[in-house]
Structure 1
Amino acid sequence: MATNVLALVGSLRNGSTNAQLAEAAVATAPEGVEVSVFKGLENIPFYNEDIDIEGQVPAAAAELRAAAAAADALLLVSPEYNGTTPAVLNNAIDWLSRPFGASAASGMPIAVIGTAYGQFGGVWAQDEARKSAGIAGANVLEDAKLSIPNSVGRFAETHPKDDAEVVAQLQDVLGKLRAAAESN
Protein backbone atom coordinates (compact mmCIF):
# COMPACT_ATOMS: atom_id res chain seq x y z
CA MET A 1 0.00 0.00 0.00
CA ALA A 2 1.34 3.42 -0.98
CA THR A 3 1.98 6.22 1.47
CA ASN A 4 -0.27 9.15 0.57
CA VAL A 5 1.46 12.51 0.89
CA LEU A 6 -0.54 15.72 0.63
CA ALA A 7 1.46 18.72 -0.58
CA LEU A 8 0.50 22.25 0.45
CA VAL A 9 2.12 24.98 -1.65
CA GLY A 10 2.59 28.39 -0.04
CA SER A 11 2.79 30.29 -3.32
CA LEU A 12 -0.37 31.20 -5.22
CA ARG A 13 1.45 32.67 -8.22
CA ASN A 14 1.03 31.09 -11.64
CA GLY A 15 4.37 29.65 -12.68
CA SER A 16 5.65 29.55 -9.11
CA THR A 17 8.87 27.59 -8.75
CA ASN A 18 7.47 26.18 -5.50
CA ALA A 19 4.38 24.92 -7.35
CA GLN A 20 6.79 23.40 -9.88
CA LEU A 21 8.70 21.77 -7.02
CA ALA A 22 5.44 20.22 -5.80
CA GLU A 23 4.71 19.05 -9.36
CA ALA A 24 8.15 17.46 -9.41
CA ALA A 25 7.32 15.61 -6.18
CA VAL A 26 4.16 14.26 -7.81
CA ALA A 27 5.96 13.24 -11.00
CA THR A 28 9.07 11.70 -9.44
CA ALA A 29 7.85 10.23 -6.14
CA PRO A 30 9.68 7.04 -5.26
CA GLU A 31 7.95 3.68 -5.43
CA GLY A 32 5.42 3.31 -2.65
CA VAL A 33 4.72 7.04 -2.36
CA GLU A 34 1.86 8.93 -4.00
CA VAL A 35 1.87 12.73 -3.80
CA SER A 36 -1.13 14.95 -4.48
CA VAL A 37 -1.20 18.74 -4.38
CA PHE A 38 -4.03 20.43 -2.49
CA LYS A 39 -5.69 23.10 -4.60
CA GLY A 40 -7.59 25.96 -3.02
CA LEU A 41 -5.51 27.37 -0.17
CA GLU A 42 -6.46 30.84 -1.44
CA ASN A 43 -10.13 30.09 -0.72
CA ILE A 44 -9.68 29.33 2.96
CA PRO A 45 -10.62 32.23 5.23
CA PHE A 46 -8.11 33.39 7.80
CA TYR A 47 -8.41 31.23 10.89
CA ASN A 48 -10.91 32.61 13.37
CA GLU A 49 -12.16 30.54 16.26
CA ASP A 50 -15.56 32.26 15.95
CA ILE A 51 -16.16 30.53 12.59
CA ASP A 52 -14.54 27.21 13.56
CA ILE A 53 -17.75 25.68 14.84
CA GLU A 54 -18.48 21.99 14.39
CA GLY A 55 -20.93 21.58 11.53
CA GLN A 56 -20.37 25.17 10.35
CA VAL A 57 -16.68 25.19 9.38
CA PRO A 58 -16.21 27.07 6.08
CA ALA A 59 -16.30 24.61 3.19
CA ALA A 60 -12.76 25.36 1.99
CA ALA A 61 -11.32 24.79 5.47
CA ALA A 62 -13.35 21.60 5.91
CA GLU A 63 -12.01 20.38 2.55
CA LEU A 64 -8.43 21.02 3.69
CA ARG A 65 -9.01 19.18 6.96
CA ALA A 66 -10.59 16.22 5.17
CA ALA A 67 -7.74 16.01 2.64
CA ALA A 68 -5.16 16.12 5.44
CA ALA A 69 -7.04 13.51 7.48
CA ALA A 70 -7.04 11.19 4.45
CA ALA A 71 -3.27 11.61 3.96
CA ASP A 72 -0.50 9.70 5.69
CA ALA A 73 1.91 12.66 5.66
CA LEU A 74 2.16 16.31 4.64
CA LEU A 75 4.73 18.03 2.47
CA LEU A 76 4.79 21.79 2.98
CA VAL A 77 6.36 23.63 0.05
CA SER A 78 7.24 27.15 1.11
CA PRO A 79 8.69 30.16 -0.62
CA GLU A 80 10.01 32.98 1.55
CA TYR A 81 8.06 36.23 1.80
CA ASN A 82 9.86 39.01 3.66
CA GLY A 83 11.93 36.46 5.55
CA THR A 84 9.06 34.29 6.72
CA THR A 85 6.34 31.82 5.75
CA PRO A 86 3.60 33.05 3.38
CA ALA A 87 0.33 33.84 5.15
CA VAL A 88 -1.62 31.32 3.07
CA LEU A 89 0.57 28.44 4.24
CA ASN A 90 0.59 29.54 7.86
CA ASN A 91 -3.20 29.88 7.69
CA ALA A 92 -3.45 26.27 6.47
CA ILE A 93 -1.34 25.17 9.43
CA ASP A 94 -3.64 27.16 11.74
CA TRP A 95 -6.75 25.41 10.37
CA LEU A 96 -5.03 22.01 10.59
CA SER A 97 -4.05 22.63 14.21
CA ARG A 98 -7.67 22.51 15.39
CA PRO A 99 -9.38 21.03 17.22
CA PHE A 100 -6.34 21.22 19.47
CA GLY A 101 -5.00 17.79 20.40
CA ALA A 102 -7.33 15.97 18.00
CA SER A 103 -6.54 17.72 14.73
CA ALA A 104 -5.50 16.26 11.39
CA ALA A 105 -2.00 17.59 12.07
CA SER A 106 -1.68 15.88 15.44
CA GLY A 107 1.17 13.38 15.12
CA MET A 108 1.16 13.69 11.32
CA PRO A 109 4.62 13.35 9.73
CA ILE A 110 5.47 16.64 8.01
CA ALA A 111 8.44 17.73 5.92
CA VAL A 112 9.07 21.29 4.77
CA ILE A 113 10.87 22.09 1.54
CA GLY A 114 11.05 25.01 -0.85
CA THR A 115 12.89 27.26 -3.18
CA ALA A 116 13.46 30.98 -3.18
CA TYR A 117 15.22 33.64 -5.20
CA GLY A 118 17.81 34.36 -2.51
CA GLN A 119 21.07 32.62 -1.74
CA PHE A 120 19.70 30.50 1.10
CA GLY A 121 16.67 29.01 -0.65
CA GLY A 122 14.05 30.21 1.83
CA VAL A 123 15.44 28.53 4.94
CA TRP A 124 14.02 31.19 7.28
CA ALA A 125 10.50 30.61 5.99
CA GLN A 126 10.94 26.86 6.10
CA ASP A 127 12.22 27.02 9.68
CA GLU A 128 9.18 29.11 10.64
CA ALA A 129 6.84 26.60 8.95
CA ARG A 130 8.51 23.75 10.85
CA LYS A 131 8.12 25.66 14.12
CA SER A 132 4.45 26.40 13.47
CA ALA A 133 3.67 22.83 12.40
CA GLY A 134 5.47 21.45 15.45
CA ILE A 135 3.51 23.68 17.80
CA ALA A 136 0.36 22.52 15.99
CA GLY A 137 1.24 18.98 17.11
CA ALA A 138 2.73 17.57 13.92
CA ASN A 139 5.66 15.18 13.81
CA VAL A 140 8.07 17.51 12.01
CA LEU A 141 10.90 15.63 10.33
CA GLU A 142 13.91 17.81 11.04
CA ASP A 143 16.18 15.69 8.85
CA ALA A 144 13.93 15.89 5.77
CA LYS A 145 14.87 19.25 4.30
CA LEU A 146 15.36 20.73 0.86
CA SER A 147 16.13 24.41 0.30
CA ILE A 148 16.96 25.43 -3.24
CA PRO A 149 18.52 28.89 -3.72
CA ASN A 150 18.45 31.09 -6.82
CA SER A 151 15.16 29.63 -8.02
CA VAL A 152 14.67 32.19 -10.78
CA GLY A 153 18.01 31.35 -12.38
CA ARG A 154 18.08 27.65 -11.66
CA PHE A 155 14.61 26.94 -13.01
CA ALA A 156 14.52 29.56 -15.77
CA GLU A 157 14.79 26.90 -18.46
CA THR A 158 14.59 23.65 -16.48
CA HIS A 159 11.58 22.33 -14.57
CA PRO A 160 12.58 20.90 -11.18
CA LYS A 161 11.39 17.43 -12.30
CA ASP A 162 14.10 17.53 -14.98
CA ASP A 163 16.89 18.46 -12.53
CA ALA A 164 18.53 15.20 -11.41
CA GLU A 165 19.93 16.71 -8.21
CA VAL A 166 16.53 18.09 -7.17
CA VAL A 167 14.79 14.80 -7.99
CA ALA A 168 17.25 12.84 -5.86
CA GLN A 169 16.75 15.24 -2.94
CA LEU A 170 12.96 15.13 -3.33
CA GLN A 171 13.00 11.35 -3.34
CA ASP A 172 15.09 11.37 -0.16
CA VAL A 173 12.58 13.69 1.58
CA LEU A 174 9.62 11.62 0.39
CA GLY A 175 11.33 8.41 1.47
CA LYS A 176 11.78 9.84 4.97
CA LEU A 177 8.11 10.85 5.04
CA ARG A 178 7.15 7.32 4.01
CA ALA A 179 9.30 5.77 6.75
CA ALA A 180 7.82 8.10 9.37
CA ALA A 181 4.25 7.40 8.19
CA GLU A 182 4.85 3.64 8.27
CA SER A 183 6.16 3.83 11.84
CA ASN A 184 3.16 5.91 12.99
Structure 2
Amino acid sequence: MSVRILALVGSLRSGSHNRQLAEAAVKHAPEGVEIVVHEGLGDIPFYNEDVDVEGSVPAEAARLREVAGGADAFLLFSPEYNGTIPAVLKNAIDWLSRPYGAGALSGKPVAVVGTAFGQYGGVWAQDETRKAVGIAGARVLEDVKLSIPNSVVRFAEAHPADDAEITGQLVEVLGQVSAAAEPSAV
Protein backbone atom coordinates (compact mmCIF):
# COMPACT_ATOMS: atom_id res chain seq x y z
CA MET A 1 0.00 0.00 0.00
CA SER A 2 1.29 3.44 -0.91
CA VAL A 3 1.00 6.33 1.54
CA ARG A 4 0.46 9.82 0.16
CA ILE A 5 1.80 12.63 2.35
CA LEU A 6 0.90 16.20 1.46
CA ALA A 7 3.68 18.66 2.29
CA LEU A 8 2.80 22.28 3.00
CA VAL A 9 5.69 24.74 3.12
CA GLY A 10 5.23 27.88 5.20
CA SER A 11 7.82 29.92 3.29
CA LEU A 12 7.15 31.45 -0.12
CA ARG A 13 10.74 32.55 -0.70
CA SER A 14 12.28 30.92 -3.78
CA GLY A 15 15.49 30.02 -1.93
CA SER A 16 13.68 28.87 1.20
CA HIS A 17 15.53 26.28 3.24
CA ASN A 18 12.17 24.86 4.31
CA ARG A 19 11.23 24.41 0.65
CA GLN A 20 14.59 22.70 0.14
CA LEU A 21 13.85 20.46 3.13
CA ALA A 22 10.53 19.51 1.49
CA GLU A 23 12.41 18.77 -1.75
CA ALA A 24 14.75 16.54 0.26
CA ALA A 25 11.70 14.68 1.62
CA VAL A 26 10.51 14.05 -1.93
CA LYS A 27 13.95 12.87 -3.02
CA HIS A 28 14.52 10.57 -0.04
CA ALA A 29 10.99 9.26 0.52
CA PRO A 30 11.07 5.57 1.45
CA GLU A 31 9.56 3.05 -0.93
CA GLY A 32 5.78 3.11 -0.73
CA VAL A 33 5.69 6.74 0.40
CA GLU A 34 4.77 9.54 -1.99
CA ILE A 35 5.42 13.11 -0.92
CA VAL A 36 3.45 15.78 -2.77
CA VAL A 37 4.58 19.37 -2.16
CA HIS A 38 1.59 21.65 -2.63
CA GLU A 39 2.27 24.72 -4.72
CA GLY A 40 0.20 27.87 -4.51
CA LEU A 41 -0.27 28.60 -0.81
CA GLY A 42 0.59 32.22 -1.54
CA ASP A 43 -2.32 32.45 -3.99
CA ILE A 44 -4.98 31.47 -1.46
CA PRO A 45 -6.87 34.47 -0.06
CA PHE A 46 -7.08 34.84 3.69
CA TYR A 47 -9.81 32.68 5.14
CA ASN A 48 -13.16 34.45 5.19
CA GLU A 49 -16.30 32.59 6.16
CA ASP A 50 -18.33 34.91 3.90
CA VAL A 51 -16.72 33.38 0.79
CA ASP A 52 -16.52 29.86 2.17
CA VAL A 53 -19.90 28.90 0.79
CA GLU A 54 -20.73 26.50 -2.01
CA GLY A 55 -20.14 28.19 -5.34
CA SER A 56 -18.00 30.99 -3.86
CA VAL A 57 -14.92 29.19 -2.53
CA PRO A 58 -11.84 30.71 -4.21
CA ALA A 59 -10.34 28.32 -6.78
CA GLU A 60 -6.96 27.98 -5.03
CA ALA A 61 -8.62 27.19 -1.68
CA ALA A 62 -10.86 24.60 -3.38
CA ARG A 63 -7.81 23.05 -5.07
CA LEU A 64 -5.97 22.84 -1.72
CA ARG A 65 -8.96 21.13 -0.13
CA GLU A 66 -9.23 18.68 -3.00
CA VAL A 67 -5.54 17.73 -2.88
CA ALA A 68 -5.64 17.52 0.92
CA GLY A 69 -8.72 15.30 0.77
CA GLY A 70 -6.67 12.73 -1.14
CA ALA A 71 -3.78 12.78 1.32
CA ASP A 72 -3.29 10.07 3.92
CA ALA A 73 -1.16 12.35 6.12
CA PHE A 74 0.45 15.78 6.22
CA LEU A 75 3.96 17.05 6.77
CA LEU A 76 4.14 20.77 7.50
CA PHE A 77 7.41 22.65 7.04
CA SER A 78 7.44 25.76 9.18
CA PRO A 79 10.04 28.48 9.35
CA GLU A 80 9.74 30.91 12.24
CA TYR A 81 8.53 34.45 11.55
CA ASN A 82 8.82 36.76 14.55
CA GLY A 83 8.68 33.80 16.90
CA THR A 84 5.59 32.18 15.45
CA ILE A 85 3.90 30.44 12.52
CA PRO A 86 3.99 32.08 9.07
CA ALA A 87 0.63 33.54 8.00
CA VAL A 88 0.54 31.52 4.78
CA LEU A 89 0.73 28.23 6.69
CA LYS A 90 -1.85 29.33 9.26
CA ASN A 91 -4.16 30.38 6.42
CA ALA A 92 -3.86 26.94 4.80
CA ILE A 93 -4.73 25.33 8.13
CA ASP A 94 -7.77 27.62 8.44
CA TRP A 95 -9.07 26.63 4.98
CA LEU A 96 -8.43 22.94 5.65
CA SER A 97 -10.21 23.06 9.01
CA ARG A 98 -13.57 23.72 7.35
CA PRO A 99 -16.28 22.59 7.29
CA TYR A 100 -15.95 22.41 11.05
CA GLY A 101 -15.46 18.84 12.20
CA ALA A 102 -15.20 17.47 8.66
CA GLY A 103 -12.30 19.39 7.09
CA ALA A 104 -9.56 17.70 5.09
CA LEU A 105 -7.31 17.58 8.18
CA SER A 106 -9.89 15.89 10.36
CA GLY A 107 -8.42 12.82 12.03
CA LYS A 108 -5.43 12.58 9.71
CA PRO A 109 -1.87 12.36 11.07
CA VAL A 110 0.20 15.54 10.86
CA ALA A 111 3.83 16.16 11.72
CA VAL A 112 5.53 19.54 11.82
CA VAL A 113 9.21 20.01 11.01
CA GLY A 114 11.41 22.81 9.79
CA THR A 115 14.51 24.87 9.88
CA ALA A 116 15.18 28.46 10.87
CA PHE A 117 18.05 30.89 11.20
CA GLY A 118 17.95 30.93 15.00
CA GLN A 119 19.67 28.62 17.45
CA TYR A 120 16.51 26.59 18.16
CA GLY A 121 15.51 25.82 14.57
CA GLY A 122 12.04 27.35 14.73
CA VAL A 123 10.65 25.31 17.62
CA TRP A 124 8.27 28.09 18.71
CA ALA A 125 6.69 28.25 15.26
CA GLN A 126 6.53 24.48 15.06
CA ASP A 127 4.83 24.29 18.47
CA GLU A 128 2.31 26.94 17.40
CA THR A 129 1.69 25.05 14.16
CA ARG A 130 1.05 21.81 16.07
CA LYS A 131 -1.38 23.69 18.30
CA ALA A 132 -3.29 25.21 15.37
CA VAL A 133 -3.46 22.02 13.34
CA GLY A 134 -4.59 20.04 16.39
CA ILE A 135 -7.39 22.48 17.09
CA ALA A 136 -8.29 22.21 13.39
CA GLY A 137 -9.00 18.51 13.93
CA ALA A 138 -5.81 16.77 12.84
CA ARG A 139 -4.17 13.93 14.74
CA VAL A 140 -0.93 15.67 15.67
CA LEU A 141 2.13 13.44 15.91
CA GLU A 142 3.56 15.21 18.95
CA ASP A 143 6.66 13.03 19.15
CA VAL A 144 7.63 13.41 15.49
CA LYS A 145 9.91 16.43 15.41
CA LEU A 146 12.80 17.83 13.42
CA SER A 147 14.04 21.34 14.16
CA ILE A 148 17.20 22.35 12.35
CA PRO A 149 18.93 25.46 13.74
CA ASN A 150 21.23 27.92 11.97
CA SER A 151 19.80 27.22 8.51
CA VAL A 152 21.60 30.12 6.84
CA VAL A 153 24.96 28.70 7.90
CA ARG A 154 24.12 25.00 7.69
CA PHE A 155 22.69 25.19 4.18
CA ALA A 156 24.88 28.01 2.83
CA GLU A 157 26.74 25.71 0.48
CA ALA A 158 24.79 22.45 0.56
CA HIS A 159 21.17 21.56 -0.17
CA PRO A 160 19.49 19.68 2.71
CA ALA A 161 19.04 16.71 0.34
CA ASP A 162 22.84 16.37 0.27
CA ASP A 163 23.31 16.50 4.06
CA ALA A 164 23.52 12.89 5.29
CA GLU A 165 22.61 13.74 8.89
CA ILE A 166 19.53 15.72 7.84
CA THR A 167 18.35 13.16 5.28
CA GLY A 168 18.70 10.39 7.86
CA GLN A 169 16.54 12.33 10.31
CA LEU A 170 14.06 13.23 7.57
CA VAL A 171 13.72 9.60 6.45
CA GLU A 172 13.00 8.66 10.08
CA VAL A 173 10.28 11.35 10.23
CA LEU A 174 8.78 10.10 6.96
CA GLY A 175 8.71 6.56 8.29
CA GLN A 176 6.91 7.68 11.45
CA VAL A 177 4.35 9.73 9.50
CA SER A 178 3.81 6.88 7.05
CA ALA A 179 3.31 4.37 9.88
CA ALA A 180 0.78 6.70 11.53
CA ALA A 181 -1.16 6.88 8.25
CA GLU A 182 -1.59 3.11 8.00
CA PRO A 183 -5.21 2.04 8.67
CA SER A 184 -4.09 -0.05 11.66
CA ALA A 185 -2.53 3.04 13.27
CA VAL A 186 -5.87 4.78 13.75
Return the TM-score normalized by structure 2.
0.97
Task: Render the CA deviation track for 1:38-83: whole Å, top value 9, x for unaligned.
Answer: 0000000000100000232110000000011011001100000000
Task: Give the structure 2 partner of residue 109 of structure 1.
Answer: 109
CA distance in 1 between partners of 2:96 and 2:108 (Å):
10
Counterpart in the other structure of 1:46: 46
Distance in 1 between residues matched to 2:12 and 2:54, nearest whole Å: 28
| Structure-1 residue corresponding to 2:154 | 154
Q: 1:35 and 2:73 equivalent?
A: no
Structure 1 gap ranges (5+): none
Aligned to 2:68: 68
**Alignment length, in residue pairs?**
184
What is the Cα deviation at residue 114 of structure 1? 0.3
| Pairs within 5 Å for 1:1-184 | 1-182=1-182, 183-184=185-186
Amino acid in structure 2 at the alignment position of 1:52: D
* C-alpha distance in 1 between matches for 2:170 and 2:67: 22
In 1, the alpha carbon distance for the partners of 2:161 and 2:113 equals 15
Match of 1:43, as an amino acid?
D
Give the letter aligned to residue 174 of structure 1: L
SS in 2 for 1:50: coil
CA distance in 1, matches of 2:172, 2:128: 22
SS at match of 1:144: strand
For 1:77 and 1:5, locate their aligned partners in 2 and report how far apart those are by CA, in whole Å.
12
Unpaired runs of at least 5, structure 2: none
